[in-house]
Structure 1
């Protein structure tokens, strides 16, 4: 169950949102005091923070900055402040999303799901990178290095190799690659995937790293 801390001084709204989000299996805790909220975040683990900007005693932008300085946790701003400057500042300070009030709770749930998926993918990539030290995967720059050498990959080749790194040691089918790599058209043929994998092998300089699994697809060797 994902745990969410909602920093919101409108307790009626917080109650409505809590009741709605609990239907999706989220555990919600609400705190209307930003100072207490920051203290709680030091002591208890959460998967995501929903943060209002208009809070008693401390501006929400300051709270956002304080959270981001201490930990890497998803932050969604939920605010009635409609000034574009607030939105820009919040995102620059490390917020992952900005949802202006009023909004339908369904949109908040969709934003939460989206942000959590992004963080899960980032964590998975980081773990894969740490596990296989020969590869360095930088998703922000869309860059992969092998043994300290940056690989000159097309978008499709980058997507395929990044997917394989995340699934290292597991067999991935050609269909898996087509469905999970955004740079590849869904109408792509198995032969075109084979051609791209062949180019990746050549660029790695070690063709044995990617093993062909007959009739299925490929596996990145540990």
Structure 2
């Protein structure tokens, strides 16, 4: 069963959300403070984290910073702080998605499932790779190598630190090398939802990816095409 960690200090909301997710066949662990969340994340493996920002003691952003030092576990921030700056900060720190309170439980469930599918954690979306044909499980673009089985990126045989969302977006561009991929397509195929007006999630993720790739490779370029999308060239 897929394991979720729900970090939420509103106990009534936590009970409602966890019960809804359990009905939908998820194994949910709840905690109400950041310090406990960090401890759980270092002691156990979770498939996805639902993380509030405003927590007693250590806030959710600090929990996210701590997690990203050692794991790329998918994270959805759920917060009453829904301003653009709050969303951008959360995404820049490594969150994969951001859901503003109050939210519809069915929308939360849809986002959880979409993110898990992208992370290959739901059985129906797992890609089975024959080890006898390992070369088919790699995509090489210039000096970058994508391992499609483990969903990891290597640069000159060294692993590159990417979140699950960053990997998905970069892989989509690499698979369409030299072509412009629209933000609408990236949003649907990688975020699991249609692009909405004023939604800067794709741009925020892509800004982080471009910075990381620029530090690694002079051959790979990711260009932003105004009004259209992004293009990877080498």
- Paired residue for 1:80? 80
Kindly indicate whether structure 1 or structure 2 has the higher relative contact order, using CA contacts under 8 Å at least 6 residues apart. Answer: 2
In 2, Cα distance between the equivalents of 1:65 and 1:31? 18
Match of 1:168 in 2: none
Find runs of 4+ consecutive structure 1 residues off by over 2 angstroms.
123-131, 133-139, 141-144, 151-155
Please point out which of 133, 136, 139 is paired with 2:139: 136
Instruction: Specify the alignment match of 1:10 in structure 2.
Output: 10
Question: What are the residue-to-residue correspondences of 1:198-209 with 2, within 5 Å?
Answer: none
Equivalent residue number for residue 28 of structure 2: 28
User: Greater helix share, 1 or 2?
Assistant: 1
- State how far apart, in whole Å, the 1-side matches of 2:8 and 2:43 are: 19
Offset at residue 40 of structure 1 (A): 1.0
Equivalence map 1:148-163=2 (5 Å): none
In 1, Cα distance between equivalents of 2:134 and 2:178: 19
Cα deviation 1:87-110 (Å, max 9, x = unaligned) = 001111110110000011111100
Q: Does 1:53 align with 2:53?
A: yes
Distance 1:133 1:24, change over 3 A: same
- TM-score, L = length of structure 2: 0.56
Give the corresponding residue for 1:114. Answer: 114
- Note the residue ranges of structure 1 that are not aligned, 5 or more in a row: 145-150, 156-179, 181-222
How far off is 1:143 after superposition? Answer: 2.7
CA gap 1:98/1:126 in 2 versus in 1, 3 angstroms: farther
1:94 partner SS = coil
Partner SS, residue 132 of structure 1: helix
Aligned residues: 150
Name stretches of at least 5 consecutive residues in structure 2 with no aligned partner: 141-145, 147-167, 181-188, 190-234
Deviation of 1:133 (Å): 4.1
CA RMSD in angstroms comes to: 3.2
Deviation at 1:74, TM superposition (A): 0.6
> TM-score, normalising length from structure 1?
0.59
Shift in Å at residue 44 of structure 1?
A: 1.0
Q: Hey, what does 2:156 align to over in structure 1?
A: none
Spell out, residue by residue over 1:98-127, the C-alpha distance to the aligned partner (whole angstroms, 9 max, x if none): 000001111110000000011118x96796
Pair 1:71–1:154, CA change in 2 (3 A):
same
Report if aligned partners of 1:129, 1:136 keep a CA contact under 8 Å in 2: no
CA contact 1:8–1:32 (8 Å) conserved in 2: yes
Match of 2:229 in 1: none
Evaluate the alpha carbon distance shift between residue 125 and residue 53 of structure 1 in structure 2; reply closer, same or farther with a 3 A threshold: same
Residues 79, 128 of structure 1: alpha-carbon distance in 2 compared, 3 angstrom cutoff: farther
